[in-house]
Chains A and B, each alone.
Chain A
Amino acid sequence: MLAEYLPTLLFLIVATGIGIALILIGNFLGPKRPSPEKLSPYECGFNAFEDARMQFDVRYYLIAILFIVFDLEIAFVYPWALVFRELGVFGLIEMGVFLALLFIGFIYVWKKGALEWE
């Protein structure tokens, strides 16, 4: 059974190897003549006059958290979807309860206005 994953392992090794090889070849074969202008970050021709980091909006974090929560819900739906036939109506009701509770959470998020961007 483990042998079935051999193509995946080969794929991982080849992908990693090609990525590393490309970086190493560029490192060894490229000329190295750095100058202060070449090392400064690119700003469409201007000199950089401000720090790139600005105040981070917390709405992005809220979107990320909501994504994670519903991603976990989907991760629970995957095994159920595979054994759905054997479990019949009972399994449907169980998963229905699970999804209904999370649907309540979704309604709550919606009504609280967390899905509005502005």
Chain B
Amino acid sequence: MTFEQILFILFAGIVVGGAASVLLQRNPLYSAFSLITTFVGLACLYVTLKAQFLGVVQIVVYAGAIMMLFVFVIMLLNIRDEDTAVDPNRFLVYLTIPLGAILLGALLYVVTKVNLAQPTGDEGGTVERIGTNLLTKYLLPFEATSVLILMAVVGALHLAKREKE
């Protein structure tokens, strides 16, 4: 049991535990906080895979910005704790067991077949490498991203702005 394996089990446990907690919580805000825990665990996994910039950006963008939007929406819609009313489509729950088993089987098959090459060298995901690649090899996607962000700004403005009375 090497140290990397222990770390992987620890972080993967945080990810899976957080994801399960998202489903099992009754209060929707607690679900959002569990999702934040999942993202932090994922960021730690990225760092163990030598993708440091991706790990930090995951926390800043995902856990910082996107989850903030989630919490805003929960507060905007004024969602209460779930009450335990009986669902008329209750039988669909029993359909999830065979479907979940099929999905799990497919995932296990793929995991045993994939080639787990270790990331080579130390400069794989460092910020300098990403910066150089972003501005030389992947320049067109980089500039297209700015247009995409511009579209997001215009769209958000039209959706969220109140009409001038």
* Chain A residues within CB distance 8 Å of chain B: 1-2, 5, 9, 12, 53, 56, 58-62, 64-69, 71-73, 75-76, 78-83, 86-87, 91, 94-95, 97-98, 101-102, 104-106, 108-109, 112-114
Contacts and interface: CB of A to CB of B under 8 A. Distances in A.
Interface in B13-65: 44, 47-48, 50, 53, 57, 60-61, 64-65
B161 interface: yes
B4 A2 contact: yes
A72 B142 CA distance: 12
Given A2-B50, A79-B131, A83-B131, A65 B156 contact: yes
B97 interface: no
- How many chain B residues sit at the interface, stated as a range, is 35 or more
Q: Which 9 A-B pairs have the closest CB atoms?
A: A79-B131, A83-B131, A68-B65, A105-B153, A62-B160, A65-B156, A101-B146, A105-B150, A98-B146
B68 A68 contact: yes
A72 B76 contact: no
Contacts of B139: 94
Contacts of A53: 75, 78
B127 A68 contact: no
Interface string B132-165: 1011100100110111011011101100111010
A101 B160 contact: no
B122 interface: yes
B69 interface: yes
A94 B127 contact: no
Contact of B161 (A5, A62, A78, A101): A62
Contacts of A83: 128, 131-132, 135
Interface centre among A66, A73, A82 (most CB of B within 10 A): A82
B25 to A, nearest CB: 18
